[in-house]
Amino acid sequence: MDTLAICGVGLIGGSFALAMRQAGFQGRIVGVSSTSTIAAALARGVIDEGTTLRTSQADLVYLAQPIQEIIRALHDMDAHLKPGALITDAGSTKQSICAAAHQSIHRARFVGGHPMAGKESRGVEHADANLFQGRPYILTSREPELEQWIGKIGARLVFLTPAEHDRLVALASHLPQMLSTALGAVLADQPDAAKVTGPGAADMTRLAMSSYEIWQDIVATNAGSIEAAIDVYIEKLREIRDALRTSELKTSFERASTAARLLR
Amino acid sequence: MDTLAICGVGLIGGSFALAMRQAGFQGRIVGVSSTSTIAAALARGVIDEGTTLRTSQADLVYLAQPIQEIIRALHDMDAHLKPGALITDAGSTKQSICAAAHQSIHRARFVGGHPMAGKESRGVEHADANLFQGRPYILTSREPELEQWIGKIGARLVFLTPAEHDRLVALASHLPQMLSTALGAVLADQPDAAKVTGPGAADMTRLAMSSYEIWQDIVATNAGSIEAAIDVYIEKLREIRDALRTSELKTSFERASTAARLLR
């Protein structure tokens, strides 16, 4: 593998470039991004060269743009790919992206990917070679060459079908976001409550500060699973509401506490 | 004011003792607690002397036990109070406690209190003279002597009736706890989701690790307000669910984000 093209050199794309270099990748790393992002990525030494156009020499193309841009790129890039190249992505939902790849990528192999890693700060300025260390990295199919590199950058490989992925991230990631946003919206309606908020409310509204621009694409491509996750949650919350005056509440606290500890 | 009695020398009671000393209180501080807690509090220099019995010399009695113990103590202590003494408490709900005081305290003045301060670690071992610095401290009525001390320990005074207090903390504090517990319980039902959890789910399930023993008393004395807060929340979450495929979602994100920033 001689050339790695990173499309979208932000936090994730930039971190993947740095992680690959740290893991021993000796080839050329080309950034495909806007002019300003390329300048920042070159300045930080994240990439060796940049282009605002498609790249046709890459052996591995890493799509790290927002989801809708990844989908557009997949529909657009087949004619410009090196035959037999490997294409993967880092989008937060997988069904729409894998469907676009299935429909439009013919000259190259595609494997859907989703590194469960992130930071509060975005942009290549915060790219970090260790961002993926110890974090789950989901692939939608087996591909030995890619698996090897993902192991080398320190991530934990998890294989899921696109549908399984989208159902599980709806519960584990998209639902928490919607819960935090809903709590923020409730507190927006109750300005007096701000007088008595403690650290618990601060914890539970941290995600509510996330940018809508990131979530717009996630929601647009996973609405069905998110709706189902919210329905499951409302049913559980209603059970807890109905158990408040009973000893069953203790059981819910204990089960929830055990599950919360297992996530850590 | 010569003698301060702290009933329940845990994190809050112990911190109040240290904060009063730091704020210039020159009198005697007596801890009323279990034998082992008194030994630990004496060892840390949090109190000057301890007793496992009621105290009848105190000018200020600070009740910092669990809520139900505070209620029991209020029903039990009137005959043993110094006439004209000032009694206050640090319980997390106010209507039941203030009702118990109204019913049973006749020889002394009672002011309900709730310092919005805490730590993940409990016990007098973690007592901290600066625990109340900059935090809201709710009182249910005016009492110049107490107000002055609360100002001196660095807290921000907030006056609320017991009913207002309980309605607002249900929204700002008890609701976040129930939301976290419900999310933990949903994830307990979906063990596969643990494979793909990121930092968002960890944030949103931190409160779910809280001990049921603390929450039991809070829920028992504020179930009505918590039920109402959950109902308001479910309605909001359902609105967000129904807006997922529309541009209204952006409005919810923006309002929630603004409210979340205002809490900080």
ipTM: 0.88
Q: Specify the DSSP element, H or E, that contains B62.
A: strand B60-63
Q: Do A168 and B193 touch (CB under 8 A)?
A: yes
* pLDDT (tens digit per residue) in A113-133: 999 988 777 889 999 999 999
Look at B245 and A80; give whichever has higher pLDDT: B245
Give pTM, 2 decimals: 0.89
pLDDT of residue A122: 84
A100 neighbors A75 (Cβ within 8 angstroms): yes
Q: What residues in A contact B229, CB-CB < 8 Å?
A: 186
Check pLDDT > 80 for residue B167.
Answer: yes
* pLDDT (tens digit per residue) in A4-31: 999 999 999 999 999 999 999 999 999 9
Q: Do B256 and A183 touch (CB under 8 A)?
A: yes
Check pLDDT > 80 for residue A56.
Answer: no
A196 and B CB contact within 8 Å = yes
How far apart CA B129 and CA A201 sit, in angstroms, is 24
B172 and A CB contact within 8 Å = yes
Length of chain A: 264
Question: pLDDT > 90: what percent of chain B?
Answer: 80
Q: Specify the DSSP element, H or E, that contains A157.
A: strand A156-159
pLDDT of residue B56: 74
Q: How far is CA A10 from CA A25, A40, A45, A169, in A?
A: 19, 10, 13, 22
Q: What residues in A contact B240, CB-CB < 8 Å?
A: 178, 181-182, 185, 230
Residue type, B212: Y
Distant-in-sequence, close-in-space partners of B96: CB < 8 Å, separation ≥ 6: B67, B71, B221
Check pLDDT > 70 for residue B118.
Answer: yes
Chosen from B92, B132, B196, B227 to mutate, greatest number of chain A CBs within 10 A: B196
Instruction: Give the mean pLDDT of B155-184.
Output: 97
Q: What residues in B contact A184, CB-CB < 8 Å?
A: 255-257, 259-260
Retrieve residue A103's tokens: 């429909």
pLDDT of residue B54: 64
Check pLDDT > 70 for residue A170.
Answer: yes
* pLDDT (tens digit per residue) in B31-45: 988 788 888 888 888
Look at B166 and A55; give whichever has higher pLDDT: B166
Computed from CA positions of residues A230, A236, A239, A244, in that sequence, does the dihedral angle turn out positive or negative?
Answer: negative
A134 and B CB contact within 8 Å = no
* Average pLDDT of chain A to the nearest whole number: 93
* Average pLDDT of chain B to the nearest whole number: 93
Q: Do B195 and A160 touch (CB under 8 A)?
A: yes
Check pLDDT > 70 for residue A262.
Answer: yes
pLDDT of residue A46: 87
CA distance A94 to chain B (A): 13
Check pLDDT > 90 for residue A50.
Answer: no
Write the residue in A158, A172, A186 that is nearest to B233 by C-beta: A186
Check pLDDT > 70 for residue B55.
Answer: no
pLDDT of residue A6: 95
pLDDT of residue B237: 98
Q: Do A260 and B158 touch (CB under 8 A)?
A: no
Q: What residues in A contact B134, CB-CB < 8 Å?
A: none
